[in-house]
């Protein structure tokens, strides 16, 4: 049973879902807060919709993942049946939409339901077909990393400049991570004729694009320090933590310029950097220093 639960966790990338849910919470906190029940609903919507998208992704990508020897995927290891992945995808997506309907009724906000429906639909299109189009899939993933903060802000009643900056950083970091993933998966992507940046323009140009994305994210992280009349203005609680995240992103940029690159390790490093960045925005919003 424990092994099956671990496989489901890996299939749905639950750690990503928790981070997306955390992103919704951060958006709520930065925008002024909400009730606990509403905040929990917002987190569950993000968690289950992304879980459905990732489960369907592994269902559709099984042949490519086998070619790329993605033994980190439970379907490749044979720990879950392909049909089970499809069932989990349908169930979790449906749950996310149901929670979105409940939230929309509570807050009397159709835009929240519409946003959830659009993201769920885009997730399905992404898994089935969108990957075949140059860079579109990369942009989609980057958008899904930025939207939770906007979603949280809308739940709390507004989106300010600090939320827009945070969303932009998340977009750039997400785009860079996806291009880096394309580099690692270039061989298997050829089987599905996925027109990734790495396949069309080559690995070196893809590396350059990744470095630019991470570098821009680092540059944007400075902006909140100068947002007067906000809790981020020259706040050491934000500055000290965001510096740690920036250091990790810059370390990845340096590593990418070398010949021998472990892309899967670097993706994990950038995930840690993103998590630290989220902590920076929370501490900046809540701790005045």
Residues 3, 127 within the same domain: yes
d(CA 168, CA 147): 10
* Domain harbouring 173, CATH code: 1.20.120
pTM: 0.83
pLDDT tens column, 81-105: 888 888 989 999 999 999 999 999 9
Give the domain range for residue 3: 1-156
Residues 184, 46 within the same domain: no
Among 54-58, 88-92, 148-152, the range scoring the smallest mean pLDDT is 54-58
Residues 245, 289 within the same domain: yes
Residues 34, 139 within the same domain: yes
Q: 136, 156, 176: which is the final residue of a domain? A: 156
pLDDT tens column, 252-271: 999 988 877 788 888 889 98
Residues 240, 198 within the same domain: yes
Return the sign of the alpha-carbon dihedral for residues 46, 52, 55, 60: negative
d(CA 103, CA 97): 10
Q: Which of 222, 243, 226, 242 is nearest to 283 (CA)?
A: 242
Q: 99, 124, 156: which is the final residue of a domain? A: 156
Tokens of 34: 């909400």
Domain count of the fold of the chain:
2
Residues 171, 278 within the same domain: yes
* Pairwise pLDDT comparison (34 vs 89), residue with the higher score: 89
Tokens of 202: 């080559």
pLDDT tens column, 180-192: 888 887 766 666 6
Residues 14, 115 within the same domain: yes
Neighbours of 258 (CB within 10 A): 8
């Amino acid at each position: 049973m424990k092994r099956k639960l671990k496989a489901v966790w890996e299939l749905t990338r639950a750690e990503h879902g928790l981070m997306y849910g955390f992103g919704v919470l951060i958006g709520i906190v930065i925008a002024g807060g909400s009730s606990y029940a509403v905040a929990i609903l917002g987190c569950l919507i993000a968690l289950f919709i992304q879980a459905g998208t990732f489960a369907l992704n592994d269902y559709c990508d099984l042949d490519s993942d086998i070619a790329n020897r993605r033994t980190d995927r439970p379907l490749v290891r044979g720990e879950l049946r392909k049909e089970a992945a499809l069932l989990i995808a349908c169930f979790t997506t449906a749950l996310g939409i149901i929670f979105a309907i409940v939230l929309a009724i509570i807050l009397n906000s159709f835009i929240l339901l519409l946003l959830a429906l659009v993201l769920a639909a885009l997730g399905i299109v992404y898994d089935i077909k969108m990957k075949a189009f140059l860079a579109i899939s990369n942009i989609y993933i980057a958008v899904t990393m930025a939207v939770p903060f906007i979603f949280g802000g809308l739940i709390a009643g507004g989106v300010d400049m600090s939320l827009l900056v945070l969303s932009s950083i998340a977009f750039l970091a997400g785009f860079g991570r996806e291009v880096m993933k394309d580099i690692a998966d270039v061989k298997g992507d050829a089987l599905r004729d996925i027109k990734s940046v790495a396949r069309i323009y080559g690995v070196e140009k893809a590396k350059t694009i990744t470095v630019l994305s991470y570098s821009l994210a680092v540059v944007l992280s400075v902006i909140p320090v100068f947002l007067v009349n906000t809790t981020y203005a020259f706040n050491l609680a934000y500055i000290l933590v965001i510096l740690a995240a920036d250091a990790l992103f810059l370390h990845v940029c340096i590593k990418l310029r070398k010949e021998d690159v472990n892309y899967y390790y670097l993706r994990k490093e950038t995930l840690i950097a993103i998590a630290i960045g989220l902590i920076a925005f929370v501490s900046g919003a809540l701790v005045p220093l």
